Structure 1
């Protein structure tokens, strides 16, 4: 029976399991989506959701708790400044698991673990189009002013 089994040991020692989960959570927050096996994704999701919930309230204590598991300071800062504010209105369910099929080598069930909402990345093409449109608008205004000044 499977009573009172709190987590999946993933057939690893506790130190290896802890290091793997920390690395995978860091990668999830860095890239906002990772591909892994289903059992690993379920364990990483538990850790990531708790971290996001904790990061919603920015305090020294919460930053220290997160820093215990996320060694990269830039990723920890991203969690507090970009990721957690996206989920301010959401009570839970910050991640989703999408099944992608079985791995060829050992037929392990593979999934994509991703954040439900994505951070807005600046689109270079869209920003260039906006700049060109602004420049055209300025040229039109300047030409109208020149035309009105020559008429008067």
Structure 2
């Protein structure tokens, strides 16, 4: 039974897993997009998103904490200089996993994990409108306006009043 086992060990020792996730997180921060398997991408998301949240406060303590995870000065500099300013207003969900199919050699599920605010193709469609709007986590209730209620009642009345028109049945067709 798997009670209380949240970590995907990825078939590696703990030292190998930590160094692999550290290298993948550094590559994700530097290149903004990494192609990998779905299992590694899900493990990387759990590894890198708390680091991105911590980078929002640019203090010496947060820089040292993130460097202890990444072990790469260039990626820490890139994270605090460019990435943290882009994700400053986002309440979470900094990465996106896009599934790309199966790998030819071993049929493993492949995907692309990327930083959400750096995909120009998706930002061109809806990125400008979402930046100006404030974000909340609450779901608003649906409200019907009077025009839509009136149009539905008019449609129902026109179908009942139109009894003179011939109606085709299955036997006639």
Same fold by TM (over 0.5)?
yes
Name segments (4+ residues, structure 1) moved above 3 Å: none
Counterparts of residues 5-44 of structure 1 (less than 5 Å): 5-44=5-44
Between Structure 1 and Structure 2, the one with more helix by share is 1
Three-state SS of the structure 2 residue aligned to 1:35 is: strand
> Per-residue displacement from partner, 1:85-138 (whole Å, max 9, x unpaired)?
111111100000000000011111000000001199xxxxxxxxxxxxxxxxxx
Residues 1:85 and 2:85 aligned together: yes
Q: Which has the higher contact order (CA 8 A, sep 6+)?
A: 1
* TM-score (structure 2 length as normaliser): 0.67
In the TM superposition, what is the alpha-carbon distance from 1:72 to its structure 2 partner?
2.0
Larger Rg: 2
Q: 2:46: which partner in 1?
A: 46
RMSD, matched Cα: 1.4
Q: 1:128: which partner in 2?
A: none
> Per-residue displacement from partner, 1:13-33 (whole Å, max 9, x unpaired)?
001001100000000001000
Three-state SS of the structure 2 residue aligned to 1:117 is: helix
